[in-house]
Amino acid sequence: MIYSTLEFSAAPFHYYLTFTSRLTLVRGDSATGKTYLYQLLEDLRLIDKYNAIKLFNYKSDDFHNGLAACRDKFIVIDNADTILNEEDKKFINFEKSNQYLLFLRNCDGLNVSGDSFTILKEKNHLITLQKEMVLP
């Protein structure tokens, strides 16, 4: 894994994100902070310690080729279910050198495990990723 934790502060919140899977899916209703977290990660990647972070969203130029060129990256994709095609999903499933943080609602076509599913939780200004219970 590229990162097992990401820890940083953005007043008034402190973020402590732990990862137990190469593929982490963040699900949640609208206005729960997913896109805001994506925006914070845009700044975080400028710090040397976090320079392996590579971000994509619907505004990314040449997204599909950009994704396919990534190796040894912590790839973050906002609104992933609207921009990923089948080739992108195959790349994510089989390019094992990368770690992925995907903000999406539909995981069809992705090889996920029970550890992949998380939701953002806030308590006392601490934001964490918590495992989401997935029913069979």
**Which pLDDT score is estimated for 127?**
92
**Which pLDDT score is estimated for 31?**
79
Give dist(CA 20, CA 1) in Å, integer. 9
Torsion-angle region of residue 124: left (phi > 0), alpha (psi -120 to 50) or beta? Answer: left
Q: Tell me the CATH architecture of domain 5-131.
A: 3-Layer(aba) Sandwich (3.40)
Neighbours of 106 (CB within 10 A): 12
Give dist(CA 75, CA 118) in Å, integer. 16
**Which pLDDT score is estimated for 54?**
98
Question: Can you give the pLDDT of all 136 residues of the chain as single tens digits?
Answer: 999 999 999 999 999 999 999 999 998 777 788 899 999 999 999 999 999 999 999 999 999 999 999 999 999 999 998 999 999 999 999 999 999 999 998 889 999 988 899 988 889 999 999 987 665 5
**Which pLDDT score is estimated for 102?**
97
**Which pLDDT score is estimated for 68?**
98
**Which pLDDT score is estimated for 133?**
65
State the maximum Cα–Cα separation within the chain, in Å, rounded to a whole number.
41
Give dist(CA 33, CA 42) in Å, integer. 14
**Which pLDDT score is estimated for 134?**
60
* Residue 57 token pair: 């969203």
